[in-house]
Structure 1
């Protein structure tokens, strides 16, 4: 069987690194992975994790999704410029009250998360259309479906990604192409840690007292508990993605976290859109004890499911 060429962006850490390693270590050796990153000096962690796959089923290349020339150079370095599966993962986060964020910061998030995908497709899509073969996989987010407090700009970038892909999917069908949006909830990676650390440094001098207090004593205060209760590992996302790219008829949308799904379905339960906003408001500001109790309950479910999975694996191995 001929190996499929997989091009992945944003592989220096987190989900991108886990994706590159997991797909390159596919037991059936069905893929040749080109793991890319903006700065090759940050490839140490990937090199170590790749192990024996490096130079065999995995190669590391430079690619900056904000630079059209960089994308073109990378694609032209591939055999016959062929990309069978594009996994668009590179991205950046931003949290905080909008009055405390610069326009430059907000534009950078949109340029990376949304226009980065657009630049990639402008380079890769024509050849996929010509061959009438290809799979475009986008690491999106549940925040591409439902906005979250103080994630206004990040959610906007993911909403843009989702709308773009939803529109493109209709055209893609005409060329026998697949598009899949992978939608994780919270994921425990350096990406999230960096976003949190930057959020802690936010200059709140331009915010009113209520907004400043909301960001510090509600949002940041509950950050760790939310991630401990709902968070997945980068390796979990990689397993879900591998499953999607090996399906004969992959879905357009795939949420990786069943614990988070009830929250996103609130949006579809009310055509007016008021229900999820009202419920989240009451959970956060009127029923904070219920909110914290719910997180603790979800944390227990998460622990039990992981323990069960671990024991199950142990029995199979034996």
Structure 2
């Protein structure tokens, strides 16, 4: 079996780094991983984690998803420009009241999370079409399906990704390409820690008192508990992603966290869309103690969700 060339963006930490290392250390050596990041000054942790695979099944390259020339230079540096699997992972978060966020901050999130994917595909998709071969894997989010309090702009960026991919998937079928959206719930990574720290430092003076209090004493107060109860590790998400990549018939959407699935299912239970909004409202404002107790209960049951999915036979081709 020929090695598959895999290009992964956003590999300086978190899911990107975990996935790059896992694929590079594959016992059957089925992958040649091109692990990319915007700033190569942050490559040390990846080099250390890669160990003996560095320079063999893993190469580190510079790629900024917000820079078309950077993408082109990176792709041109790969032999024959052949990318069998593209994993679009690079992204950024933003939380808080919209009154306290600048339009430029919002544009940066959209430019990275949505247009970053578009730039990658404009460069890589034509080659995949010519070969009639390739798998496009996007690290999306459950927030691409359902909006969450004080994640308005981040959710908007992921909704854009999901709609874009739904449209593109139809065309991809014609060219025998595979397209998969990986939808994690909360993931405990440096990415999330930074989002939380930025939220803690946010200037709330532009928001009214009630909104500022809601963000500080409800959202931020419960943030850590939600991640402790529902959060997955980057390694868990990487494991799910590899299984999707190896599946004979990979699904278009895959949620990595079965504990979160009942919450996203609410959206499909009511065509009017009122049910999930009403339930989330009541959980946050009317039944906060029950919500908190439920999170503690879920924490006790976390072991059940480990190794909890089976995608069937993996491809050996």
TM range (shorter): over 0.9
- Deviation of 1:53 after TM superposition, in Å, equals 0.3
Structure 1 unaligned blocks of 5 or more? 310-318
Partner of 2:148: 148
| In structure 1, C-alpha distance between the alignment counterparts of 2:8 and 2:172, rounded to whole Å | 20
Separation of aligned partners in 1, 2:51 and 2:9: 19
Matches within 5 A, 1:1-318: 1-303=1-303
Which residue does 1:312 correspond to in 2? none
Q: Which runs of 5+ in 2 are unaligned?
A: 309-317
Q: CA RMSD in A?
A: 1.1
> In the TM superposition, what is the alpha-carbon distance from 1:172 to its structure 2 partner?
0.2
After superposition, give the CA deviation of every residue in 1:110-146 in whole Å (9 maximum; x if it has no partner): 0000000000000000000000000000000000000
User: Whole-Å Cα distance in 2 between the matches of residues 93 and 79 of structure 1?
Assistant: 33
Distance in 1 separating the partners of 2:54 and 2:16: 15
The TM-score with structure 1 as length reference comes to 0.96
Cα offset, 1:100, TM superposition: 0.2
CA distance in 2 between partners of 1:204 and 1:305 (Å): 38
Task: Tell me which stretches of 4 or more aligned residues in structure 1 moved more than 3 Å.
Answer: 303-306
Deviation at 1:305, TM superposition (A): 5.3
Deviations 1:63-113 (CA, angstroms, capped at 9, x unpaired)? 000000000000000000010000000000000000000111000000000
Aligned residues: 308
Instruction: Using the TM superposition, give the Cα deviation of residue 27 of structure 1 relative to its aligned residue in structure 2, in angstroms.
Output: 1.1
Residues of 2 paired with 1:49 and 1:169: CA distance? 34
User: Secondary structure, in 3 states, of the residue corresponding to 2:301?
Assistant: helix
